[in-house]
Amino acid sequence: MKLNIKDLPKIPERLGPGHRLCSGCGAPIVAKMVLMGTKDPVVVTNATGCLEVATTIFPYTAWKTPFIHSAFENSASTAAGVEAAYQSLKRKGKVKEEVKILAIGGDGGTYDIGLQALSGALERGHDFVYLCYDNGAYMNTGIQRSGATPRGSSTTTSPAGEAVPGKQQFPKDLTAICAAHKVPYVAQGAISNWKDLITKASKAFAVKGPAVLNVLSPCPPGWKHADDLAVEISEIAVNSKIWPLYEIENGQWKITYRPRENKIRPVEDWIKMQGRFRHLSRKENHHIIDEIQQWADENWDRLEKMEKATSNQGDSEEKQK
Amino acid sequence: MSEKGWKDLAAGGKITEPGNAAQYKTGDWRTFIPDVDREKCINCLFCYLYCPDMAIEVKEDSTLGEIKLDYCKGCGICSSVCPVKCIEMKKEEK
């Protein structure tokens, strides 16, 4: 089915206005686009994080779906419990309609604190979708570094100074970690490529068993960029290959978007847009930009190799039959 | 918007009205206000798709509807994604 923007307003709006996320925040755009991936009713569980805190300030909620706030670490296990209850009610005939379950966590609640709950839920094979909106630090509590924070980024717990130029480590590869659980569907997306993202979301909802979506979510106060740049900054992240768009469907890796030659940008362009990398423009820190570029290139090469290595998998299985 | 006492709340602190955050108007955060040139608009709906505050309505015939200024925080994403640059962010006079 071809995705048409004119059909999207007909899908019921699940996240309404009146939430108190910052002006220009990427998270509600991520959530609304992912929820456009299904027409069925959705139950949402959300780990503590910006999206949870700002959309459900008591006694108000911006959600028009059933919504459960869980602790920082257990969004995935809450969703697992909801799914088990739903399967039981369905067996008894008490619920007849198809219901989707969406667990949401920020990068702190997914890469770090919620990783074991997520790993457990993926391993048990619950039928749910996990969405990580990755803004690259603990933005809700005031920009502390997380496992997703890029190398060189200045945060309050990895401040850039004379001795240490921002975070020293590279982020971990959550998408690959989830793919290593051999779940049916894992994908990485960005809001700038909306067709790609909504298609991935509908695949994730349609699939039986666990699915994971990892989506880049720009953060104006944390990344220190202007309020209106969320989409542009995502686009440059994708085109500079620091945030490649790909999916792993039944073990088959596939790059879903290859920037054309004339669209490819150096990661320096992405870095220059953000105040959290401001110290990298100093001469003595310039080698970090080269390191990040090299890291992004190596990552892309690895993706190409994975795509090649797994592309014949389906064919050979068919041949065996 | 009046504060609710504990007697007015549902058991367990449940919120029983979906989407009731709509009663909370985030529009007064705004410094810049979007000004749409409807003659130039090509109804691509990118502004609707990218609005983080769900403040842009779409009409029945899939054309651009009202901008709900009660919720628009004035971030300017609509203006930056507009392919024909028909949304201008102007400083709001209050």
Confidence of residue A36 (pLDDT cuts 50, 70, 90): very high
The dihedral region occupied by A179, where left means phi > 0, alpha psi between -120 and 50, and beta the remainder, is: alpha
What lies within 8 Å, CB to CB, of B85 at 6+ separation is B40, B79
pLDDT recorded at residue B6: 80
Q: Which of B19, B29, B52 sits opposite A16 (nearest CB)?
A: B19
- Cα separation, A58 vs B48, in Å, equals 27
* pLDDT, greater one: A85 or A315: A85
The amino acid sitting at A144 is: Q
Asked if residue B26 belongs to a domain, the reply is no
pLDDT greater than 70 at residue A264: yes
Rounded CA-CA distance A27/A133 in Å is 6
Q: What is the pLDDT of residue B11?
A: 86
Whole-angstrom distance, CA of residue A271 vs CA of residue B72: 29
pLDDT, tens digit, for every residue of A76-125? 999 999 999 999 999 999 999 999 999 999 999 999 999 999 999 999 99
Pick the CATH number of A13-313 from 3.30.1180.20, 1.20.1630.10, 3.40.50.970, 2.40.50.100: 3.40.50.970
Domain ranges of chain A: 13-313
- pTM above the 0.90 mark? yes
Report the pLDDT averaged over residues A258-263: 95
Asked if the C-beta of B13 comes within 8 angstroms of chain A's C-beta atoms, the answer is yes
Contact assignment for A61 to B15 by CB distance below 8 Å? yes
Q: How many domains does chain B have?
A: 1
The letter for the amino acid at A265 is: R
Please write the tens of the pLDDT for every residue from A211-236.
999 999 999 999 999 999 999 999 99
CB-based contact, B41 to chain A, within 8 Å: no
Asked if residue B72 belongs to a domain, the reply is: yes
Q: What's B65's domain CATH number?
A: 3.30.70.20
pLDDT band at A317 (very low <50, low <70, confident <90, very high): low
User: Smallest Cα–Cα separation from A171: which of A194, A136, A188, A147?
Assistant: A147
B65 to chain A: closest CA residue: A9
Residue B57 lies in domain: 37-94
- Is B67 inside any structural domain? yes
Q: Which of A5, A13, A34, A53 has the most B C-beta neighbours within 10 Å, making it the best mutation to test the interface with B?
A: A5
CB A63 within 8 A of CB A44: yes
ipTM of the complex: 0.93
CB pairs A-B closer than 8 Å:
123
Query: If you average pLDDT over every residue of chain A, what do you get?
Result: 94
**Residue B94 located in a structural domain:** yes
Closest to A62 (Cβ–Cβ): which among B19, B74, B75?
B19
- Percent of chain A whose predicted confidence (pLDDT) is above 70: 97
> Alpha-carbon distance A271 to A269, whole Å?
5
Question: Within an 8 Å CB–CB cutoff, is residue B73 touching chain A?
Answer: yes
Whether residue B13 is contained in a domain is answered as no
Interchain CB distance below 8 Å, B54 and A28:
yes
- Residue B19 domain-assigned? no
**Residue A133, strand partner residues:** A106, A215
Packing angle, helices A194-206 and A27-35, rounded to 10: 50
Mean of pLDDT values over A233-251: 97
Reported as a pLDDT band with limits 50, 70 and 90, residue A13 is very high
The band of B38, judged by pLDDT with boundaries at 50, 70 and 90, is very high
Q: Which of residues 214-233 of A touch B (CB under 8 A)?
A: 220, 226-232
What proportions of chain B, in percent to the nearest 5, are helix, strand and coil? 25, 20, 55
Q: Does A299 touch chain B (CB under 8 A)?
A: no
**What's the Cα-to-Cα distance from B67 to each of A62, A160, B72, rounded to whole Å?**
18, 41, 8
In a domain, B32, yes or no: no
**Packed helices A75-91 and A115-124: angle between N→C axes, nearest 10 degrees:** 30
Distance from B73 to chain A by nearest Cα, in Å?
Answer: 6
Contact: B45, A65; criterion CB under 8 Å: no
Does residue B85 form part of some domain?
yes
Tell me phi and psi for residue B44, to 5 degrees: -80, -20
Counting Cβ atoms within 10 Å, is residue B15 exposed (0-12), middle (13-18) or buried (19+)? middle
pLDDT of residue A315: 54
User: Residue A321's pLDDT is what?
Assistant: 46
List of chain B residues whose C-beta atoms are within 8 Å of the C-beta of residue A33: 49
Q: What is the per-residue pLDDT for B5?
A: 80
